């Protein structure tokens, strides 16, 4: 197998949880391409494929591509006969930024301590050091400061709810990378958090469940957090 996707995992190697890695995984599945997963802990990410990297990283024979959006665009270029992932790269930037600024912030506020708990000890140390520097406080302080009632998440999801009331996917009748971007954020929450705040009914719940079941249930095969 010459196609390898490097993905972030917890202490349990099957606990694949990174939102960006899920975007890349769904992109490969969308294209119908076989790939092997290399599950990597936070502390070893920087050593992948020559070093200085962040995950996801895709090795496709001689090509090494880093960054979920770059991977999706590369796959469209390299495999033009498989279904398109990114019909409009300029508009896709907006979807990525919306997800990053609103969904990712809401998920991080709910799940940060749960993420730390699921990591292997060396990865816990790396995660604590880097995130505490980023937040300017301890993980416990950050966790205590933020409500876990799902209100912020629900507000952040409003544009998705309104759109999915009119069409089955952000991509229209079928999904594309625009769907895999917010899917990655919700899968991140599903796989890490003990707080039960994912929508249970309505357009987002139905859309998320369809995507979890897609591609032989690849998304659902990774366990939800207990």
**Three-state secondary structure call for residue 172:** strand
Tell me: does residue 54 bind ligand GSH (CB under 6 A). Answer: yes
- CB-based contact 85:36 (threshold 8 Å): no
How far, in Å, CA of 6 to CA of 49, rounded? 9
Q: How far apart are CA 36 and CA 41, in angstroms?
A: 16
Taking the complex as a whole, how short is the minimal distance between the CB of residue 95 and ligand GSH, in angstroms?
12
Site string for ligand GSH, 126-145 (x = CB under 6 A): ----x---------------
Q: Determine, following the binding rule CB under 6 A, whether residue 86 of this chain makes contact with ligand GSH.
A: no
d(CA 68, CA 66): 7
Alpha helices by DSSP H, listed for the chain, are 19-30, 68-78, 89-98, 104-118, 121-135, 139-145, 151-156, 158-164, 177-192, 203-221
Number of residues that bind ligand GSH (CB under 6 A): 12
Cα–Cα nearest to 109, from 205, 180, 9, 193: 193
**Residue 189 lies near ligand GSH (rule: CB under 6 A):** no
Binder of ligand GSH out of 22, 42, 180, 183 (CB under 6 A): 42
Please say which residue, 18 or 192, places its beta carbon nearer to ligand GSH. 18
Q: Taking the complex as a whole, how short is the minimal distance between the CB of residue 184 and ligand GSH, in angstroms? A: 9
Residue of the chain from 6, 10, 26, 56 that contacts ligand GSH (CB under 6 A): 56
95 binds ligand GSH per the rule CB under 6 A = no
What minimum distance in Å lies between the beta carbon of 6 and ligand GSH? 9
Residue 130: CB minimum distance to ligand GSH, A: 5
Q: Which of 20, 25, 104, 148 binds ligand GSH (CB under 6 A)?
A: 20
Check if the beta carbon of residue 86 is closer than 8 Å to that of residue 73.
yes
CA pair distance 221, 206, nearest whole angstrom: 17
Interface positions with ligand GSH (CB under 6 A):
8, 18, 20, 42, 45, 54-56, 67-69, 130
């Amino acid at each position: 197998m010459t196609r390898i996707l490097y993905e972030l995992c917890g202490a349990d190697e099957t606990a694949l949880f990174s939102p960006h890695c899920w975007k890349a995984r769904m992109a490969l599945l969308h294209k119908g391409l076989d790939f092997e997963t290399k599950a990597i802990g936070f502390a070893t990410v920087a050593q992948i494929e020559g070093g200085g990297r962040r995950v996801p990283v895709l090795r496709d024979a001689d090509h090494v591509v880093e960054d979920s959006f770059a991977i999706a665009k590369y796959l469209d270029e390299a495999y033009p006969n498989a279904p398109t992932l990114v019909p409009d790269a300029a508009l896709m930037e907006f979807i990525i930024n919306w997800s990053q600024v609103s969904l990712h912030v809401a998920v991080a506020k709910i799940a940060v301590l749960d993420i730390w708990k699921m990591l292997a000890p060396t990865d816990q140390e790396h995660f604590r050091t880097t995130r505490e520097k980023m937040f300017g406080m301890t993980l416990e302080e950050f966790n205590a400061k933020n409500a876990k009632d799902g209100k912020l998440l629900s507000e952040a999801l409003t544009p998705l709810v309104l759109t999915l009331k009119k069409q089955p996917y952000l991509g229209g009748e079928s999904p594309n990378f625009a769907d895999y971007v917010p899917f990655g954020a919700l899968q991140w929450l599903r796989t890490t958090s003990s707080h039960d705040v994912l929508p249970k009914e309505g357009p987002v719940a139905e859309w998320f469940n369809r995507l979890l079941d897609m591609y032989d249930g690849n998304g659902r095969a990774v366990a939800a957090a207990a």
